[in-house]
Structure formats: structure tokens, C-alpha cells
Amino acid sequence: MVSRTYVDHAASSPIVPEAAAAMAELLGRPGNPSSLHGAGRAARRVLEEARESLAADLGARPGEVVFTSGGTEANNLALLGLRSAGRPRLAVSAVEHPSVAAVKGRLDEVVELPVLPSGHLDLDAASRLVDARTGLVSVMWVNNETGAVQPVAAVVELAHRAGALAHSDAVQAFGHLEVDVGVAGPDLLSVSAHKLGGPVGIGALVVRRGVTLAPVGFGGGQEARLRSGTVPVALAAGFAAASRVAAARREHEAERLAALRDRLIAGALAAVPGTRSNTVEPCSPAIVNLTFAGVRADDVLLLLDAAGFDASTGSACTAGVHQPSEVLLAMGRSTADAAASLRFSFGPDTTTDQVDPLLAVLPGVVERARSAS
């Protein structure tokens, strides 16, 4: 059998032992955290301890953390739940995750904020587009395809200056970069557990004190009357444990992964003619996006898969039928180049012993893909 190397952590990162242990301890326990009996109170205590721990890692108050099923639901709640009287317009960047970008088909007034060829927000253009009709500005913290780190604090300032609120999808930032809502100042912030070594199926929306949202679903209103449904206590505990682990090693890991990122980019540019890096500073230490001119990305992906490397053509949330990357198109890339790009993303188990073999097979893989195109 071919040994496998996983370089798709931005899609989902394997659960860390500390999170698995926290969950295992709770999976056999009875008790709904909304019940008033002893088992219910015990479950509630675990849930609130997880909320407090997560809030501390986010620079938020515990009461500002609303648990959701993941980043997608958190984004949906932030964008669809806000009701700003006299401010019906929503402004979103042109490179958002599908759970934000698709709001353009659901609300009447959505303005798209352009980005520079580097993938970073064009702040000058944004300042002209955010006006007195804008109720919310949503710009992701780290792009899920290219790793571009957006100027969140500047976006918050721009939004507040216009009298609007600010939201950031921090799913790809949390765990790799310092995400502190008290410092950056967004009014709403989305995070997800399984991108940083926590379990799949839980995320959170930070709703800053004083911000009013309307629920987009109905039921028991368990989470601050914003999100209904029984909260999965074991998943919340796993999320909090994974967050603590990520926070403790973040600085060291950022330095280590950035070196691997730069090694992969430099090696690919040197070894594979016609390669372009779409990952430009400031960027995540954990994401690399490369265009291999003259190929179909799916061909490269399948050849890498056969060689034992798990990579991605972009957002896993749009996987299935590969289309040219909307993110790269928004950055001004051609349709051909946007359809010839792959994402490699790193996590705790990524080492030079994985990056170097990847670099060794890339020239042959790309050559074969080009001959098939």
C-alpha cells in the first residue's frame, strides 16, 4: 500500500489527543444541559466551563459565545440574523467562503468589496462602497484558499466609521493566528472546531455585548435564544480542549509551519516550470495555493492522490464538481489559471519529511497532467 501524507488540514484537521480524551470522558454520561435534574446540571456545568475556556482564548466574554454546528451556521446566523433599521445593505469581500458569499442570492442589497491581485482587501475601494445604507461589513480573517490575512482591524474601523457593524469569518485564522475580539474589535466572529484539531460538528459565533441578532431557525432557543437544539456537551468540551492546545503552541507552530510553507513555495517555483504562488504575505503559515499553468487541477489532484498525497483544489465545501476558483477569479486570475490551482495546508503532523517528498513528486505529476490536458 502507498503510505499517505495529509496536506489538507484547512479542510479538516485530525482531532488532537486532548480533545479526543475530553470527549471520551463525557460520551457515556447522561444528561441534557437544559434539564434541571442532577445529570442535567452536571452537563450544564461542563458546557459552561467549555464556553468560558473558549471565550478566554478568543478574548471574549463567556456570554458572548454562542455554540453552533460549525462555521457555516455561525456565518449564516451573523449575516441573516442582523436587522439594522434603515441599513439594509450588506458588504462582503469578493473572496469569502461559500457560507458568506452565497448571501448574494438571498438578500436584496449586497455589495461586493474587491480585492487586490494578492487576494487582500482593497481598502480604498471598500471605503467608497461602505456607506450610510450599510448595516454589516463581513470580511474573513484568513482566506480559506490562498491563506491571505485580511486587515480585520482596519475593516472594523471602516465599518464603525460608517455606522455599520463588522463580522469576520475567523475559521481559518483561529488556532494559527492570534484571534482576539477585544483587540481587533469585530462585533461578530465565526469559528469552527475541526479546523484546529477539535471535533467535526461544532463551532461558535461570538456576538459582542450590545449586538442584537434575530434567530434564523426556531425551537427551544437553547443558545441565547439565537440557536435552537440540544447543545452537544462532549463536542463543546472537545472544542475547548483543542482550542487550549492550539493557543499553547500557536507561536511556535506558526513559526514552524511558516518555514514549511516557504519551503514548499520556493521548491515548487524552482522545480516546476510555469508555477505561480497565489499565497502572498501577509498570509497564514498553514496554507499554500499554487497554480500549475497548463493543467487541470483535478488531474494533478488525482495523480497526487495515487502517489499518496491528500491535497485539495480549494474549499472542501464546494468539492464534488470542480469549477474555476471564484477566489482566484476575484484576484484577477484567468479562468484557465483559476482552474489549474491546488491548495496544500498544514497541521501539527506536517514536517519536512512530508514536504520534501511532495516536492520530489510534483515535477513528474505536473508533467503528466500537462500531457493529459
So which residues are the catalytic ones? Answer: 317
> How far apart are alpha carbons 241 and 199 in whole angstroms?
10
Total count of residues recorded for the chain: 373
**3-class SS at 276?**
strand
Q: Are 341 and 297 in contact (CB under 8 A)?
A: yes
Distance CA 220, CA 143 (A): 34
Classify 94 as helix, strand or coil: coil
Beta strands 89-93; 110-113: pairing state: parallel
How far apart are the C-alpha atoms of 141 and 59, rounded to whole Å? Answer: 15
C-alpha 202/C-alpha 337 separation (Å) is 35
Show the beta-strand stretches assigned E in 45-192. 65-68, 89-93, 110-113, 134-138, 165-169, 188-192
Which DSSP symbol is given to 177? B
Q: Which three cell numbers stand for residue 237?
A: 468540551
- What are the residues facing 292 on neighbouring strands? 275
Say if strands 287-292 and 341-345 run parallel, antiparallel, or are unpaired: antiparallel
Q: Phi/psi of residue 140, each to 5°? A: -70, 150
**Residue that is written with C-alpha cell 458572548 in the block:** 64
Helices (H) and strands (E) in the chain, counts: 12, 12
